[in-house]
Structure 1
């Protein structure tokens, strides 16, 4: 049986290269399903014609961004692990506060209660990293069992970049995949 990984991507520049993370996870044996925040979905539909079709073909699953209707069928297999990558300051702080107003946040908040292995790999700049809500959110998520890969006092993970100088090509997908249990 193949284990299913939900990759949950927020609207940050590495989301435009999420296929890199998907392929790396597939190479490790994961069946990958992609869930996008509404803004990340907008990027994939408005800025990149055909991107959703390519991602659907790559994963073999629908790319989700909205809650289904209660009468609707689940189109994705159940998740065995969650990877929030890239995850923005907005998603981290809302998630830590228990918001579930989007499918992405709903799956992340529920994943904690289900006891799923969850890894979060942020993509934030140094100015955002100074916001007082970030340390509280990271601490709350870590206390709930989420592995937040942010280079803070734990000396591991993503290092916030100077504003407007992010290096998308250096986004450490493998670091996040290494933090997950084997597929």
Structure 2
């Protein structure tokens, strides 16, 4: 049986330290994971065991073949304030945002775990962008408890605590 292809988009926030766990959970749930980090996520991935999952960065050149099979689903763990707002506004100026924008336009299932502090979540664009993404079919998962009904900002200084309690099964339950 062929595994389904899962793109794991990783943004630069403390939860990025659990990307290796996401790769393992993806395989345990029958997915073939491909990691697509933002530039800010790269330092978080440097010392992680990603189990040989392909890590795809930067746009390919016109003479290069496609580097991944089409995604059956995409997860964004964590999704930063910047990426959330950029995706909601249709910005595709980086490889991860291009992947996310194309998946959204193709109606590929997307599950996202926003990870932002109270001050950023208090910005008016936060609620507007969440509404746009939910309307477009993105499933939003709270990093504190896996809820899809509510989303709490991450209190300043608690990123490591939230990262520790996060369970990847919350993501796969939504897929």
TM-score, normalization by structure 2: 0.88
Residues 1:164 and 2:160 aligned together: no
Residues 25-76 of structure 1, C-alpha deviations (whole Å, 9 max, x = no match): 111110111000011124434xx4xx4xx42x432x2x11211112111222
Q: CA deviation at 1:129?
A: 1.6
Residues 112-170 of structure 1, C-alpha deviations (whole Å, 9 max, x = no match): 1111011111112222221111100011111111112248xx86365322112222111
Which residue is equivalent to 1:138? 130
Report the 3-state secondary structure (helix = DSSP H, G, I; strand = E; otherwise coil) of the residue aligned with 2:66: coil
Using the alignment, how far apart are the partners of 1:150 and 1:116 within structure 2?
20
Among 137, 161, 169, the alignment partner of 1:174 is 169
Number of matched residues?
169
Matches within 5 A, 1:82-101: 82-101=74-93
Report the 3-state secondary structure (helix = DSSP H, G, I; strand = E; otherwise coil) of the residue aligned with 1:34: strand
Using the alignment, how far apart are the partners of 2:45 and 2:141 within structure 1?
25
Unpaired segments of 5 or more residues in structure 2?
none
Matches within 5 A, 1:48-127: 48=47, 51=48, 54-55=49-50, 57-59=51-53, 61=54, 63-127=55-119
Which residue is equivalent to 1:12? 13
Using the alignment, how far apart are the partners of 1:95 and 1:148 within structure 2?
13
TM-score, normalization by structure 1: 0.84
Which residue is equivalent to 2:35? 34
CA 1:149–1:75: 2 relative to 1, 3 Å = same
Unpaired segments of 5 or more residues in structure 1?
none
Using the alignment, how far apart are the partners of 1:150 and 1:162 within structure 2?
13
CA 1:150–1:16: 2 relative to 1, 3 Å = closer
Using the alignment, how far apart are the partners of 1:126 and 1:171 within structure 2?
18
